[in-house]
Structure 1
Amino acid sequence: MDIKGMRYFISAAENLSFTKAALEQKVTQTAISLSISKMEEELGFQLFSRKNRSVQLTEAGRDFYEHIDYVVKKYEEAVEHGLKTSTGKSGEIRLGVPDCIMGMSLIPSFRIFQSSYPQLNLKVLIVPPHKIMQAITTREIDAAIGFPYEFESNTTLEHRIFRNDKLLVALAQNHPLAKSSDLNLEQLNAQTVTVVHPQKSPLIHQYMCNIWAKAGFAPNKVIHAATLDDAIIEVAIGNAIMLITEHSKSFCNSSLTFHNPRALDALHVEIAVAWNKNLNNPILKGLVWALVEEFQYSPELSVPKHDAI
């Protein structure tokens, strides 16, 4: 029994005529008759009682019609939904971000995406940095936000850089250097700096160390925090200072103050979105477009506009 045969039966049941069903389905009357006879043989009971040139549903046929009509409608809904998903008109995409602050800093991009694709669902998941790569490999998430340095090591992924963030110095408001007009490298290197523990994401840690080295930033002492939230608390209570991206500062603890010292002008970090190379998802293209559009659209990224997806 196939979906075509089910449609033939529904049409015959609603018209109580094989001839009208044939016209409606654009096939011959013989095709309708043979299909229904085959269906009755498979089911083991009669669907129609045939008298002269008229047909009537049997009691079993009426019951079967009520159930099969629901099945066919659900099938057609499933096909329609699948088509919308395949063309980017419907569906869901799961995006992994390494912490709440990064997620909050991307809200303008998420709003662009949702306004352009109101019928799509963007699900943002907070995934610990050391589990991001595993989550995207196992398809727990469809895409991930992070540093290109970590994505480049995985040959199964594609990534696009969509943001180049300046690094600022975050301090407690009562920190001795909080009111300094311009912090110099000697002052900064004498401080205790807090970072997320290297074991949480070794590649990210190495990336940050390389950036620090280029700028000559070599702090006197480093406190390893379990999470970014823990690191921010260390800063807020005055135990350390930390470097944080410019786009993230608005979502940090209000008790912090931020400096943009000329000594660290060279400190920038690139933020990227990555996904599996085998994932051909038009919804994902829309999300990448929204991220790039918010942070200065770049034609060389080859991300199509949303009306072309």
Structure 2
Amino acid sequence: MDIKGMLYFISAAENLSFTKAALEKNVTQTAISLSISKMEEELGFQLFTRQKRSVQLTEAGKDFYENIVDVVKKYEEAVEHGMLTAAGKVGEIRLGVPDFAIGMSLTQPLRRFREAYPQINIKSVIIPPHKMMQAIDAREIDAAIGFPQEFEANTALTHRVFRRDKLMVAMAPHHPLASCPAPTLEQISSYTVTVVHPQKAPMIYLYMCGLWEKAGFKPRNVIHSPTLDDALLEVALGNAVILITEQSYSVYNTCLTYSPLKELEGYNTEIAIAWGKDRENPIIKGLVWTLLE
């Protein structure tokens, strides 16, 4: 018994006519009759009583019809759901983000993605940068957000840069630099600067150190914080300043003061999304295009 035969039976039961069912399904009356006869043989009971010009459902046929309609409906829903899943329009994606700041900066594009694909659930998971690769390999997440330098060394990953951010200096409102409208790197270097600890985010640390070297920035004192959130707490307390991307402004602008850095205008940081090359997940492709908009 196949789904086509079930559809033929349902049409004949609703029309009480093999002829009308044939017209509805665009097949011959013989095809309908043979299909239902085969179904009756497989079931072991009669579905219709046949007369010269009409057919009637038997009691067993009525009972079978009431149950088979739900079966066919669920099958059709399953087919539709499967097609949407294959097209990347339904399902779930687990997105790893390295910290709260970057996660919050993705609010707008992720909202657009949800509006375009309301049947897709996006689950954001904050994962320390040094554990991000492990999370991807263990399939705890489907894709990861971070700096491209973190993903380039992993040949099992595909990554796309979707954003380029300017660097700004952030400080507490009561910090001495807060009264300076456009602090220079030389001025900043005389104060304590905080960065994420190299063991917690080695690639990010190396990237920032390389950026400092190119710009000629040599801070006299550096605090290595366990996470970016810890670093920003140090900044909010007035213990340090931090060089951070402009996207964090929308998250922390109520408790920190931000200033642009003319000396770093040519040193934009890149943010990328990465996923495993062996995972053909169409949802990721849709997410990538949304992030690139």
Task: Give the structure-2-normalised TM-score.
Answer: 0.83
Which residue of 1 is the match for residue 31 of structure 2?
Answer: 31
Post-superposition Cα deviations, 1:5-54, rounded to whole Å, max 9, x if no partner, equal 21122122212233332332233334333333333343344333445664
**Aligned 1:69-84 pairs, distance under 5 A:** 69-84=69-84
Which residue of 2 is the match for residue 270 of structure 1?
Answer: 270
Which residue of 1 is the match for residue 169 of structure 2?
Answer: 169
Alpha carbons 2:167, 2:261 under 8 Å: kept: no
**Aligned 1:7-156 pairs, distance under 5 A:** 7-50=7-50, 54-87=54-87, 93-114=93-114, 117=116, 119=118, 121=120, 123-128=122-127, 129-156=129-156
Post-superposition Cα deviations, 1:35-88, rounded to whole Å, max 9, x if no partner, equal 333333433443334456643323332222112111212222232333344445
- Pairwise CA RMSD: 3.0
Structure 2 CA distance for partners of 1:49 and 1:250, relative to 1, 3 Å: same
**Number of aligned residue pairs:** 292
Amino acid at match of 2:26: K
Post-superposition Cα deviations, 1:204-260, rounded to whole Å, max 9, x if no partner, equal 333223222322334334333333222211111122222210121121152211233
Alpha carbons 2:89, 2:120 under 8 Å: kept: no
Structure 2 CA distance for partners of 1:261 and 1:52, relative to 1, 3 Å: closer
Structure 2 CA distance for partners of 1:154 and 1:67, relative to 1, 3 Å: farther
Structure 2 CA distance for partners of 1:54 and 1:96, relative to 1, 3 Å: same
How many angstroms apart in 2 are the aligned matches of 1:37 and 1:198?
75
Structure 2 CA distance for partners of 1:126 and 1:30, relative to 1, 3 Å: same
Alpha carbons 1:215, 1:266 under 8 Å: kept: no
How many angstroms apart in 1 are the aligned matches of 2:117 and 2:20?
42
**What is the Cα deviation at residue 172 of structure 1?**
1.4
How many angstroms apart in 2 are the aligned matches of 1:139 and 1:29?
53
**What is the Cα deviation at residue 119 of structure 1?**
4.3
**Aligned 1:252-291 pairs, distance under 5 A:** 252=252, 254-280=254-280, 283-291=283-291
How many angstroms apart in 1 are the aligned matches of 2:150 and 2:236?
29
How many angstroms apart in 2 are the aligned matches of 1:155 and 1:42?
55
| Long gaps (5+) in structure 2 | none
Which residue of 2 is the match for residue 229 of structure 1?
Answer: 229
Structure 2 CA distance for partners of 1:39 and 1:208, relative to 1, 3 Å: farther
Q: Percent identity?
A: 65
How many angstroms apart in 2 are the aligned matches of 1:53 and 1:122?
54
How many angstroms apart in 2 are the aligned matches of 1:5 and 1:148?
54
Greater CA drift, 145-154 or 48-57: 48-57
Give the secondary structure class of the aligned counterpart of 1:199: coil
Greater CA drift, 161-170 or 223-232: 223-232
Structure 2 CA distance for partners of 1:238 and 1:78, relative to 1, 3 Å: same
Amino acid at match of 1:198: P
Amino acid at match of 1:226: P
Alpha carbons 2:94, 2:125 under 8 Å: kept: no
**What is the Cα deviation at residue 270 of structure 1?**
0.8
Amino acid at match of 2:172: A
How many angstroms apart in 2 are the aligned matches of 1:20 and 1:160?
56
Amino acid at match of 1:46: Q
